Every structure is written in structure tokens, then in C-alpha cells.
A and B are shown apart, each in its own frame.
Chain A
Amino acid sequence: MNNNLYNYIIGIADNSLILGQRLGELCGHGPSLETDIACTNISLDLFGQVRSYFQYAAQVSGDEKTTEDTLAFLRIEREYKNVLLVEQPNTDFGYTIVRQFLFDAYHLLFLRELENSKDQTLVAIAKKSVKEVSYHWRFSSDWVRRLGDGTTESHGRVQEAVTDLWMYTDELFHQTDADQAMIATGVGVNTSALKERYYQMITEVLEEATLEVPESKYWHKGGKQGIHSEHMGYILSDMQYMQRTYPNMEW
């Protein structure tokens, strides 16, 4: 089995899996019917992408017992390689939107580059996903503008979310050994090259939204190595409950 390719796919997929799970928590709890459906639509888009990645990872693993379901539901916490940003809670709608916004900008830039990968399966997944993620970015950046340039209350809350979540953005561009190996073979995306454009995209919207761009001297990291925040255990116990209680259950 190609370990680097396998780890590379898992690294991409876990971001979407955990963010999708977070958004799914809002099902029936969104601030309005319309935004509730919008958030769960995005969640379902992400799960769809995750399924394609996991099916591919299962195939690459060469292990018959590994399936998309075992990858999603039966790994332990340290084996999930998502960035810390996506596991942060839905503190309020401001946090939900800012978390989405900070991830979408990265996700969009990443997928546009993945379309040029030497791996044709990843190219196919990227081509399908990029349309969905373009909409996610439009949705989240639109809401950042509305909330930032909205009432005193919405401005204050969304500014707090931006300031709090900002220190999770640098990790998006950290590269694991698998990332570096895949970049070297032309399969992976060189995320370092996306960093400048990323902060440009984000800053443009924040300025339009009359929000202050934070200046962080400290960056959180660890998720890409499997070292997660305290939230991760709760997410997994929620997400894995059914498969662990009723092994091999099917709908």
C-alpha cells in the first residue's frame, strides 16, 4: 500500500468530515429555517465529498476490511487528521459562519489546485467538489459581510469569532510528511503557495465587513498530527455512537 497517498487522502477528507459533522449538529437548530437548511446542505455536500475520498482511501489501503464506513466511524481520535479549526464548536451563528468562512477560502484554493493533480481520481473528486465549495464560499463570505456590517450586536459577535478563530488558520498550511511526499510527486497541492492568496481573500472580505483583521503572534496546531482539542472526543462520541453500539448496522 502507498502509505503517503493513503495518509494524504485521509488528511483532506477528515477536514470535510468533521466540519460536516459540526454543521450537521445545526439540523433543526439553525437560527432560521432558511439558514438551517443552508448549513445542513453544506454539511451534506461535504459528506458527499468525504465518501469519494474514503472510498478511494479504502481502495488504496489494499485492506478488504477497510471501507468508507470504518474510516468514518471506527477510527480512534489520534487517527483523525483534521485541522483544529473545523472541530471548533457552533458557539453562535457568528462562530459557525466565521469557521466556515476561514475554511472555505482555503478549501476553494486547495481544490482549484487539486484539479491539476497527477492523480486522476483526486482530479475527478476536485472537479465535482469545486462547484459546491464555490457556493459555500459565496454563502459564508456573504454572511460575514452582513454580520460585520450589520448591527452593533452582530458586529461585536462576529468580530469576537474572527479574533478567536484566527489563530487556527495557520495550521491549514502546515505540511505533514505525507503532504510533502505527495507534493514532490505532483499528486499533492503545495499549500505554502496558497497562503498569501488565502490571507488576501480573507482580508478583503473582513475589510468590506468593517471587521478588524487580527494580528496573532500565536498559532494553534496539532490536528494534522492527530493531537486534537478537547472538543474532538465529544464530536466522535456523537458521530460514532451508532456504529459502536450496533456494529455493522445498516439502514
Chain B
Amino acid sequence: MSKNWPLWEVFVRSKNGLEHRHCGSLHAADAQMAMANARDVYTRRSEGVSIWVVESSHITASNPENNGEMFEPAADKVYRHPTFYDLPDEVKHM
């Protein structure tokens, strides 16, 4: 058995925020402890009104070695940005 508690990733939604944002990680023995620790470590300055925690091992991450093929092809395709036409006022949060 590993001596260390598993690592968890913490996502916090701020009062006026629309989505949870990743704000850091911590160690905890289980989900309940991860939630308590997240509250104590990441919301003590009233940063948030909602917390998600997920065990880091459950996250599948892209491999930095593949960054070339993964991300560079998008770099020269500015026409994919919706900046070439006017947005109607009714469209929020773009």
C-alpha cells in the first residue's frame, strides 16, 4: 500500500462564475476527505460557492510529446475564430 494518500484535482465555481475552474490539487484518502480538504485549502478566502473533486488518476491527459500533431495544425487557421462577423447583442458569453 502506498504511504501517501492519492492525489485529487479540485474545481471551484466562484460566486459569479459560470463554470467550475481547476484551481489546484491536494491529497486525501477518499472523496469525502477530498471535499473537506478542498473546502479548507481552496475556499478559505471565499473563493467559491461550489466544489468538484476528482481523483487525478481518473483524468486522461494529452501527452506533451504529441503537442506538434495535436495542437500546431490549429495555429494557422485564424478563419476558425468567429471574429469575422458581427455577433447579435442577444448572444451572451461568447
Partner-B contacts on A (CB < 8 A): 32-35, 37-38, 41, 138-139, 142, 146
The 6 listed contacts between A and B (C-beta, < 8 Å) are: A32-B5, A32-B27, A33-B41, A35-B37, A138-B36, A142-B33
- A142-B27 Cα distance, complex, nearest whole Å: 17
Are A38 and B29 touching (Cβ within 8 A)? no
Cα separation A34 to B26 with both chains bound (whole Å): 7
List chain B residues, Cβ under 8 A from A41.
40, 44
Q: How far is the CB of A146 from chain B (nearest CB, A)?
A: 7
CA of A37 to CA of B29, assembled, Å: 16
CA distance A41 to B36 in the complex (A): 12
Q: Which residues from chain A contact B26 at a C-beta distance below 8 Å? A: 33-34
B28 interfacial by beta-carbon distance below 8 Å: yes
Closest A residue to B40 using CB positions? A38
**What is the number of contacts between chain A and chain B, taking CB atoms within 8 Å?**
27
Inter-chain CA distance A34–B5, complex, in Å, is: 11
Q: A34 to B40, Cβ gap below 8 A?
A: yes
Task: Give which listed residue, A34, A37, A139, A146, contacts B27 with CB less than 8 A.
Answer: A34
Report the minimal beta-carbon distance from A205 to chain B, rounded to whole angstroms: 15
Partner of B40, one of A37, A142, A146: A37
Distance between Cα atoms of A91 and B36 in the complex (Å): 24
Contact indicator A142/B41 (Cβ below 8 Å) = no
In-complex Cβ contact of B29 among A138, A139, A146 (8 A): A146
Q: Across the interface, which residues of B come within 8 angstroms of A32, CB to CB?
A: 5, 27
A32-B5, A37-B40, A37-B44 known, 11 other contacts, Cβ within 8 Å: A32-B27, A33-B26, A34-B37, A35-B37, A38-B37, A41-B40, A41-B44, A138-B36, A139-B36, A142-B36, A146-B29
A34–B28 touching, CB < 8 Å? yes
| A37 neighbours in B (Cβ, 8 Å) | 40-41, 44
Nearest residue, chain B, Cβ from A42? B40
A142, B32: Cβ atoms closer than 8 Å: yes
How far, in Å, is A38 (CB) from chain B's closest CB? 4
Interchain CA distance A69-B90 in the complex, whole Å: 56
Report chain A residues within 8 Å CB of B33.
142, 146
**With the chains together, A34 CA to B40 CA distance in Å?**
7
Interface residues of B in 23-45 (CB under 8 A from A): 26-29, 32-33, 36-37, 40-41, 44
Minimum Cβ distance to chain B for residue A94 (Å): 16
Q: Which residue of B lies closest to A135 (CB)?
A: B39
Inside 8 A of A38's CB, which chain B residues have their CB?
36-37, 40
* Cβ of A204 to closest chain B Cβ, rounded Å: 18
Beta-carbon nearest neighbor of B38 in chain A: A34
Bound together, the chains give a CA A37 to CA B42 distance in angstroms of 10
Q: Which of A37, A138, A142 has the most CB of B within 10 A?
A: A37
Task: Encode contact with A along B10-27: 1 for CB under 8 Å, 0 otherwise.
Answer: 000000000000000011
Within 8 A of A (CB), among B54-82: none
How far does the Cβ of B1 sit from chain A's closest Cβ, in whole Å?
10
